[in-house]
Amino acid sequence: MANSKYEYVKKFEEDDRLPPSNWIVVRIDGCHFHRFSAEHEFEKPNDEKALNLMNACALAMLEQFSDIVFAYGVSDEYSFIWKETTVFYQRRASKMLSLCVSYFTSMYVSKWKDFFPHKELKGPPYFDGRVVCYPKSKIIRDYLAWRQVDCHINNQYNTCFWMLVKSGKTEKEAQEFLKGTQAKDKNELLFQQFGINYDKLPQIFRKGSSVYREKVENIVKVDGNGNPVRRMQSEVVVDHMDIIGPKFWSEHPYILKEE
Amino acid sequence: MANSKYEYVKKFEEDDRLPPSNWIVVRIDGCHFHRFSAEHEFEKPNDEKALNLMNACALAMLEQFSDIVFAYGVSDEYSFIWKETTVFYQRRASKMLSLCVSYFTSMYVSKWKDFFPHKELKGPPYFDGRVVCYPKSKIIRDYLAWRQVDCHINNQYNTCFWMLVKSGKTEKEAQEFLKGTQAKDKNELLFQQFGINYDKLPQIFRKGSSVYREKVENIVKVDGNGNPVRRMQSEVVVDHMDIIGPKFWSEHPYILKEE
Amino acid sequence: MANSKYEYVKKFEEDDRLPPSNWIVVRIDGCHFHRFSAEHEFEKPNDEKALNLMNACALAMLEQFSDIVFAYGVSDEYSFIWKETTVFYQRRASKMLSLCVSYFTSMYVSKWKDFFPHKELKGPPYFDGRVVCYPKSKIIRDYLAWRQVDCHINNQYNTCFWMLVKSGKTEKEAQEFLKGTQAKDKNELLFQQFGINYDKLPQIFRKGSSVYREKVENIVKVDGNGNPVRRMQSEVVVDHMDIIGPKFWSEHPYILKEE
Amino acid sequence: MANSKYEYVKKFEEDDRLPPSNWIVVRIDGCHFHRFSAEHEFEKPNDEKALNLMNACALAMLEQFSDIVFAYGVSDEYSFIWKETTVFYQRRASKMLSLCVSYFTSMYVSKWKDFFPHKELKGPPYFDGRVVCYPKSKIIRDYLAWRQVDCHINNQYNTCFWMLVKSGKTEKEAQEFLKGTQAKDKNELLFQQFGINYDKLPQIFRKGSSVYREKVENIVKVDGNGNPVRRMQSEVVVDHMDIIGPKFWSEHPYILKEE
């Protein structure tokens, strides 16, 4: 039996290949994670285990998809930067989006028990995603800066908010209290009222997490004379450095190298 | 600290809302499931447990997303039909695609142990997906017919192929043997050589799986006089009927009703 | 000399074929026609010659492009409805848009002297355009109704506005005067103050212009016995009837017939 | 009368804004110009008057649309390069495409009599068009090189073809004769058989036409002492230089300057 009578329905499929010579960002974001984190009693303002789980999934992404050159995560979101010249699935947007979000989700559920051995998953964690093209590496850096600034703003706010709540305010009162405050006010509040030096908080909270390939020199074997043979190798790492300034990028020029 | 300096990067995001008055199909498909099914020793040509797992995930989808009116699955693929008038996430293609594929994946990993209690997941199952718009319900029926014809063609072939392999042929020999055979030849082969009446094989293998809402009359309470109070309710069910002919659709006119 | 070194630039071209089974509307609109009509001293509120020029161009469009089934024009805009199944240039949006707007423009300039023999063109008339897909004929009828209601609203307003201006008010005063008035008030104003029965104004002003193929019986030849031989033929006509109600459409069922 | 009942049809319009930080090329192309040039007895292989008409229209384009930074034309096609940062009509593709093609067409018909005072237009000249985004100025240069190489290849072929036809061959014979010949062969043919040194043919035929803004020093007034006051001004010019090599671009760095 031929299938030709119905095959015309394939003509409704659109060609969604993304334009060449653009960096491709797939950003995924936890869906209803406010509720999910409450259900699973994540620590506030930051649950380090939950962040480490996110990072482990992102690391698995870079190991699985070699054309992802950088990933940046904060809270329940992660951005994956695909290199400018990737031809992964012919750059079809729906393939890239669905594979990223599905692989990440699969990892998240599979690895859950490694990070929360004493907590059962009470409902399915899932993520939405989007795909955006950026035509220059300079704009990719601005994109990442945008996310890291956001991380900082949110984290500073959340740290204040949850300290106020833990000290006895209701959530509504804490919200009111913080309305209109500036960065300086918030740092002051943390220091004066709670003895917290914001700049001493763990980098993972203040700077988010970056995943990328570091070039490292490894001893790969020992030669006939017993001397170690070293080779430069590439290793996926997670770090929490500043990605707004030029330092990291000038030390890792290969990551966002334009063709 | 304001984030305005970098916020221009949001302007690169595209508006991907799908056109109104179109049925929306999200079809997901197992990625590298040939290897995945081998690693997990799925039965050939069909692994009923694996199909039931797929169906359980699809059923969860319809329970989660009330605007999905019908789902059809075969092997490692599933199509989800969103109603013509849905405004789920403003009909944004990337939201609909990513949420479907992520929720399904999350379910698949979470429910794995219910269907394969004695098999550990050896690698992450994941799915790709696509979104297609169809402007008329008649074309949606043709779309579903297209998938069900495909199910039949593939199942008939695979049944022959694996019977030949189980009877001693190599995979290559079986492939050669079947080259150019017609539907009739294959039925003949199964009957003569293996005593199999193709039409008596389980419907789930020959017809795939459909998931939809059935209207059922339930006893919802008992009134003061001890009489049962019945009410029409909607219940998500899985079935394996023919969806090419008109019978099912005339019995369930509400599923693909045009506005 | 081969051109292969640079041909990669073609990969940046996007596939812009419109989805099948949709009616395609190309609407064009005069660019800066406020100024253009002032420069060429068009009569206010309606210049019948200018409208007839628009209509002559639209008629030429239907004669040139056989898949345009209907056109509706008002003021300096015209909508062209392409049949649901057209495969004109593979339904590529940019081809359909550019050819429509270019052919119309070419006609407009060429035919100008036929309608304004005593006026030189002082600047280039030009049009912008857009393409929109509509999945059902019912929605096409609503689209046309939308344009015809707009014609009515604008014409009623403009008739009042220009009568007031001609009677001595400044444009600003006329505008102020009409602010917040209802349809009924405007009809009253026209009747009481200017003795105009709005419903008696020419249909072309109140209803806009429709261009379509009328089936007419023509005598195509005379047979051997001197008897006329009649045949049904299709003829492009311009009319100014109501297209909101069902009458026209039930008399011309072939125009928006769905496949 | 409100129009709200039908206004829902506007929701079918798509947002077609082109991505920021991309150069935008609108390329227009004569539709059925093979026939058009035959009808109007254009000289073969090149009609200088017809080319000058095209160039006059392109020049008018740059005078009308200040964000077009460069235009390149050959035969009946013209490419218009919009600057990377233009916000003309919010970068909406359909607006940019339709306005370009309509304005050009309007000019072409209006100016026809200036270039062909003794030839009436026999049919409407019209153009199709397309819009393409290019993310880097380097690629725009490759785009222009692609068109200029094409100009050269076509002109060389056409020069041979029409010389052969004028010398008595049929069009079919000329075509056969040239099949498989290389650039060198064609130059040889022109020189040996027709005494034509290809490199001495007018640049407009071999290099096409470029339209851009040249910075020129003009005397803008005379001061009180009778001394001329000079000022750098920008003037749209047409030239026929090489645009493949770096010379022109290094002398005009402002044209494709990246932000």
Q: Where are the domains of chain C?
A: 18-146+202-207
Average pLDDT of the segment spanning B197-201 = 95
Provide the mean pLDDT of chain C. Answer: 96
Provide the shortest C-alpha distance from residue C224 to chain D (in Å).
Answer: 38
Chains linked to A by 3 or more Cβ pairs within 8 Å = B, C, D
- Residue A16 pLDDT level (bands cut at 50, 70, 90): very high
Among B126, B129, B149, the residue with its CB nearest the CB of A94 is: B129
Average pLDDT of the segment spanning B119-133 = 97
**In chain B, positions 134-193, which contact chain C (CB-CB < 8 Å)?**
135-136, 139
Whether A33 has a binding-site annotation, put simply, is yes
Residue type, C33: F
Provide the shortest C-alpha distance from residue D135 to chain A (in Å).
Answer: 5
Picking from A128, A140, A141, A185 by the largest number of B CB atoms within 10 A of its own CB, the best residue to mutate is A128
Provide the mean pLDDT of chain B. Answer: 96
Whether D31 has a binding-site annotation, put simply, is yes
Q: What's the pLDDT score for residue C28?
A: 98
Among B7, B106, B146, the residue with its CB nearest the CB of A105 is: B106
Kindly report, residue by residue over C22-74, the tens digit of the pLDDT. Answer: 999 999 999 999 999 999 999 999 999 999 999 999 999 999 999 999 999 99
Chain C positions touching B22 (Cβ under 8 A) are 135
**In chain A, positions 21-40, which contact chain B (CB-CB < 8 Å)?**
28, 31
Q: Taking the C-alpha atoms of A184, A188, A190 and A192 in order, what is their torsion angle to the nearest 10 degrees?
A: 180
Whether B29 has a binding-site annotation, put simply, is yes
Q: What's the pLDDT score for residue C2?
A: 58
Whether D30 has a binding-site annotation, put simply, is yes
**Is A1–B152 a contact, with Cβ atoms under 8 angstroms apart?**
yes
Chain B contact for C109 (CB, 8 A cutoff): no
Question: Where does D177-255 show beta strands of DSSP type E?
Answer: 209-222, 228-239
Which residues touch B179 (CB under 8 Å, ≥6 apart)? none
Kindly report, residue by residue over B37-56, the tens digit of the pLDDT. Answer: 999 999 999 999 999 999 99
Whether B226 has a binding-site annotation, put simply, is no
- Asked if pLDDT for residue A25 goes beyond 70, the answer is yes
- Residue B3 pLDDT level (bands cut at 50, 70, 90): low
Q: What's the pLDDT score for residue D134?
A: 98
Kindly report, residue by residue over C159-203, the tens digit of the pLDDT. Answer: 999 999 999 999 999 999 999 999 999 999 999 999 999 999 999
Closest residue on chain B to D90 (Cα): B11
Residue B128 tokens, joined: 């790709």
**Is C20–A11 a contact, with Cβ atoms under 8 angstroms apart?**
yes
- Tell me the DSSP string of C72-111: EEETTEEEEEEPTT--GGGGBHHHHHHHHHHHHHHHHHHH
Q: What's the pLDDT score for residue B258?
A: 87
Among C12, C14, C20, the residue with its CB nearest the CB of A12 is: C20
Helix (H) or strand (E) holding B222, with range, is strand B209-222
**Is C126–D97 a contact, with Cβ atoms under 8 angstroms apart?**
no
- Residue D109 pLDDT level (bands cut at 50, 70, 90): very high
What ipTM did this prediction achieve? 0.94
Domain C18-146+202-207: give its CATH code.
3.30.70.3000
Chain C positions touching A19 (Cβ under 8 A) are 12, 14
Closest residue on chain D to B15 (Cα): D15
Picking from D17, D24, D91, D133 by the largest number of A CB atoms within 10 A of its own CB, the best residue to mutate is D133
Among candidates A221, A206, A153, which has minimal Cα distance to A182?
Answer: A153
Q: What's the pLDDT score for residue A3?
A: 67
Q: What's the pLDDT score for residue A2?
A: 58
Q: What's the pLDDT score for residue B4?
A: 82
Which residues touch B226 (CB under 8 Å, ≥6 apart)? none
Assign domain D16-154+203-207 to a CATH class. alpha beta
Picking from B57, B98, B121 by the largest number of A CB atoms within 10 A of its own CB, the best residue to mutate is B98
**Is D135–A139 a contact, with Cβ atoms under 8 angstroms apart?**
no
Average pLDDT of the segment spanning B132-156 = 97
Provide the mean pLDDT of chain D. Answer: 96
Spatial separation of the C-alpha atoms in residues C154 and A5, rounded to whole Å: 49
Among D11, D15, D20, the residue with its CB nearest the CB of B12 is: D20
Provide the mean pLDDT of chain A. Answer: 96
- Asked if pLDDT for residue D1 goes beyond 90, the answer is no
Instruction: List B218's β-bridge partners, or say none.
Output: B231
Kindly report, residue by residue over B16-35, the tens digit of the pLDDT. Answer: 999 999 999 999 999 999 99
**Is C19–A14 a contact, with Cβ atoms under 8 angstroms apart?**
yes
Dihedrals phi, psi of D28, to nearest 5 degrees: -110, 155
Strands B228-239 and B209-222: antiparallel
Within D71-216, residue ranges assigned H as helices are 93-115, 137-166, 171-178, 183-194, 203-207
Q: What's the pLDDT score for residue D2?
A: 58
Q: What's the pLDDT score for residue B24?
A: 98
Query: What is the percentage of chain A residues whose pLDDT exceeds 90?
Result: 94
**Is A97–B98 a contact, with Cβ atoms under 8 angstroms apart?**
yes
Q: What's the pLDDT score for residue B2?
A: 58
Average pLDDT of the segment spanning A168-190 = 94
**CA–CA distance from A259 to each of A135, A254, B115, C4, D23 (Å)?**
12, 11, 48, 19, 18
Whether A75 has a binding-site annotation, put simply, is yes
- Asked if pLDDT for residue B139 goes beyond 60, the answer is yes
**Is A136–D135 a contact, with Cβ atoms under 8 angstroms apart?**
yes
Of A232 and C248, which is predicted with more confidence? C248
The CATH architecture that domain A16-207 belongs to is 2-Layer Sandwich (3.30)
**Is D21–A133 a contact, with Cβ atoms under 8 angstroms apart?**
no
- Asked if pLDDT for residue D175 goes beyond 90, the answer is yes
Spatial separation of the C-alpha atoms in residues D205 and D208, rounded to whole Å: 6
Which residues touch A156 (CB under 8 Å, ≥6 apart)? A183, A186, A187, A198
CB of C104 closer than 8 Å to CB of C57? yes
Provide the shortest C-alpha distance from residue C91 to chain A (in Å).
Answer: 12
- Asked if pLDDT for residue D217 goes beyond 60, the answer is yes
Q: What's the pLDDT score for residue B145?
A: 98
Average pLDDT of the segment spanning A4-20 = 96
Closest residue on chain C to B136 (Cα): C135
Of A231-245, B74-88, C215-229, D42-56, the range with the lowest mean pLDDT is C215-229
Region label for B215, one of left (φ > 0), alpha (ψ between -120 and 50) or beta (otherwise): beta
Provide the shortest C-alpha distance from residue C132 to chain B (in Å).
Answer: 10
Kindly report, residue by residue over A113-161, the tens digit of the pLDDT. Answer: 999 999 999 999 999 999 999 999 999 999 999 999 999 999 999 999 9
Query: What is the percentage of chain B residues whose pLDDT exceeds 70?
Result: 99
Establish, for the pair of chains A and D, how many residue pairs have beta carbons separated by less than 8 Å: 16
Q: What's the pLDDT score for residue A259?
A: 79
Spatial separation of the C-alpha atoms in residues B203 and B199, rounded to whole Å: 9
Provide the shortest C-alpha distance from residue B12 to chain D (in Å).
Answer: 6
CB of B238 closer than 8 Å to CB of B118? no
Residue D249 tokens, joined: 């671009």
Q: What's the pLDDT score for residue D3?
A: 67
Name the CATH superfamily housing domain B20-149: tRNA(His) guanylyltransferase (Thg1) (3.30.70.3000)
**Is A102–B132 a contact, with Cβ atoms under 8 angstroms apart?**
no
Instruction: List B235's β-bridge partners, or say none.
Output: B214
Chain C contact for D125 (CB, 8 A cutoff): yes
Q: Which residues of B73-94 are buried (b: 16+ CB within 10 A; e: fewer)?
A: bbbbbbbbbbbbebebeebbbb
